[in-house]
Amino acid sequence: MKKRLHIIVSGRVQGVFYRLTTKRQAKILNLTGWVKNKDDGTVEIIAEGEEENLRKLIAWCRKGPLIARIDNLETKWKEYKKEFEYFSVRY
């Protein structure tokens, strides 16, 4: 079943290739949406796709790239909107 997921990741997540590696992981998992750095130092992710693959993205986000440090991960499940054609990095 397709769903939408909103994730906020905090810790040392900016300047450590978190966005780029999230994009790569989302592509592997056949997810659409976006990832961006927020002014408060967190990373925000909106992803859509199969629930199983979104759960795999959550698991990946808890680790992130090697040089990241994840202090907190907030997730909110939402209704699938079929809003995106691909997964992108937003600036």
> Which residues are designated catalytic?
19, 37
The first and second tokens of residue 28, run together, are 């592997």
Residue type, 66: L
- CA 77 – CA 61 distance, rounded (Å): 15
Distance CA(38)–CA(19), nearest Å, equals 11
Using CA atoms, how far apart are residues 13 and 71, in angstroms rounded to an integer?
9
Given a contact cutoff of 8 angstroms between Cβ atoms, the answer to whether 61 and 26 are in contact is no
